[in-house]
């Protein structure tokens, strides 16, 4: 049969009967495996651990533990360590039909490994914690317990079912003009690829007023997540995070923008995009220190010394020669940099000679008095790196 439908009341001529598997399959459509709350494993300084109350969800089946459970571990070996696991085990065998907590005993070894988890058509296990059993030790303390509830590979918190989440890549993508009321109530998100969704991705970038060339890459190298908090009254806040797709670039986050709408009327569009600025790189080298921001701003600073004031220029004196400061990081070409400075001496200041080019700048000390003494110049350059 190609079509399945459930759940309906029975009639005398058409009885409708359902198995537990029918209900579990239904719940699996929108809930994934994991724990809801609680279920922390702790030590009691014996060879037992304690599983706290809490609840979980495994393959469409619900589990609740209303009180602490004692989990006994076998005594330690005299010379070799081992790793046990405290697991929740779903067993769908007709003779079992339960979810219970168990201790899975590991094997002793010079370098012990935790026991594997069983996951097949009958049994499915979630690991709540690893317990390191030290050779010759007669009790377990909290330092020997590794909490695994947050590890999505072995447990994780209950989330949207994978078959729902996977659709984020295609079905849930919306145009940049979609109003907040057109999104799911509450929190929703979708993913865009510069390769697979080139046209709609370009529309989103155009609405912000940016292009892939601003980041020095092609559209195919870009990916984005759009995260929306909205409701049916057409109010909402939206964030788009743009990043590079390749691991060679470290999946660099290139930019983040936000916009909002608080209009009850559906005729009112989103507000303007506002960029969120964050540090993408910072450091120092022999030429000074620098910080680069996601919006393209760059600030460099350094101490340059020592500069005298011996060259007579009429009413003022200047250092005999200009000193070249190579920026610790280059700026995006000439004409984009403002350089300022100060001297650690009275009646002295800094001026630039020539252009503030992208790679560096020439500076000189200026003074109202003649002085052969050299002083340090504190310089700063502000401009754009992209």
**Residue 167 confidence class, pLDDT cut points 50, 70, 90:** low
Count of C-beta atoms within a 10 Å radius of residue 226:
22
- H/E run at residue 280: strand 279-285
Count of C-beta atoms within a 10 Å radius of residue 357:
16
**Cα atoms in the 13 Å half-sphere on the side-chain side of 41:** 30
- Report the alpha-carbon distance of residue 220 to residue 39 in Å, rounded: 44
pTM to 2 decimal places: 0.58
Q: Which CATH architecture has domain 281-384?
A: Sandwich (2.60)
Look at residue 164 and tell me whether its pLDDT is greater than 70.
no
- H/E run at residue 70: strand 69-72
Distances (CA, A) of 348 to 165, 179, 314: 64, 58, 16
The pLDDT of residue 169:
52
Q: Write out the DSSP string of 309-334.
A: E-EE-SSSEE-SS-EEEE-SS--SST
**Residue 27 confidence class, pLDDT cut points 50, 70, 90:** confident
Q: Are 126 and 58 in contact (CB under 8 A)?
A: yes
For the chain, the average pLDDT equals: 87
- Residue 90 phi/psi, 5-degree rounding, is -90, 125
Q: What is the CA radius of gyration of the chain?
A: 32
The segment with the largest mean pLDDT, out of 182-186, 241-245, 332-336, is: 241-245
Tokens 């200009």 correspond to 322
CA 22 to chain centre: 37
Residue 203 or residue 335, greater confidence: 203
The pLDDT of residue 180:
77
CATH 1.10.3470 fits 34-147, yes or no: no
Q: Where are the domains of the chain?
A: 34-147, 166-276, 281-384
The pLDDT of residue 318:
83
- Report the alpha-carbon distance of residue 326 to residue 308 in Å, rounded: 20
pLDDT tens track for 67-92: 999 999 999 999 999 999 999 999 99
Residue 161 or residue 282, greater confidence: 282
**Residue 264 confidence class, pLDDT cut points 50, 70, 90:** low
């Amino acid at each position: 049969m190609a079509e399945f439908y459930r759940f309906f009341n029975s009639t005398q001529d058409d009885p409708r009967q359902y198995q537990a598997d029918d209900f579990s399959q239904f719940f699996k459509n929108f809930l994934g495996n994991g724990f809801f709350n609680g279920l922390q494993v702790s030590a009691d300084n014996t060879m037992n651990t304690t599983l706290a109350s809490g609840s979980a969800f495994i393959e469409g089946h619900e589990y609740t533990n209303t009180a602490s459970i004692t989990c006994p571990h076998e005594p330690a070996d005299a010379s070799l360590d081992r790793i046990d696991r405290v697991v929740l085990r779903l067993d769908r065998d007709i003779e079992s039909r339960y979810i219970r907590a168990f201790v899975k005993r590991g094997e002793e070894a010079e370098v012990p490994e935790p026991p594997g988890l069983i996951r097949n058509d009958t049994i499915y296990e979630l690991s709540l914690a690893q317990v390191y059993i030290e050779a010759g030790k007669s009790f377990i303390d909290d330092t020997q317990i590794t909490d695994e509830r947050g590890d999505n590979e072995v447990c994780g918190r209950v989330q949207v079912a994978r078959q729902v989440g996977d659709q984020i890549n295609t079905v849930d993508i919306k145009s940049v003009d979609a109003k907040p009321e057109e999104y799911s109530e509450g929190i929703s998100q979708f993913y865009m690829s510069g390769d697979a969704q080139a046209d709609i991705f370009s529309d989103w970038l155009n609405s912000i007023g940016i292009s892939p060339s601003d980041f020095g890459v092609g559209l195919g190298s870009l990916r984005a997540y759009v995260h929306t908090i909205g409701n049916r009254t057409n109010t909402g806040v939206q964030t788009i995070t743009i990043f590079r797709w390749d691991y060679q670039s470290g999946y660099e986050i290139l930019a983040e923008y936000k916009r909002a709408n608080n209009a009850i009327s559906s005729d009112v569009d989103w507000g303007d995009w506002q960029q969120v600025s964050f540090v993408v790189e910072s450091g120092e080298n022999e030429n000074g220190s620098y910080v680069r921001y996601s919006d393209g701003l760059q600030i460099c600073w350094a101490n340059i010394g020592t500069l005298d004031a011996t060259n007579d220029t009429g009413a003022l004196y200047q250092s005999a020669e200009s000193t070249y400061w190579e920026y610790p990081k280059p700026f995006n070409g000439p004409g984009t940099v403002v350089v300022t400075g100060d001297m650690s001496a009275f009646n002295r200041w800094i001026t630039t000679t020539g252009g503030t080019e992208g790679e560096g700048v020439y500076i000189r000390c200026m003074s109202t008095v003649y002085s052969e003494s050299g002083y340090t110049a504190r310089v700063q350059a502000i401009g754009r790196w992209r």
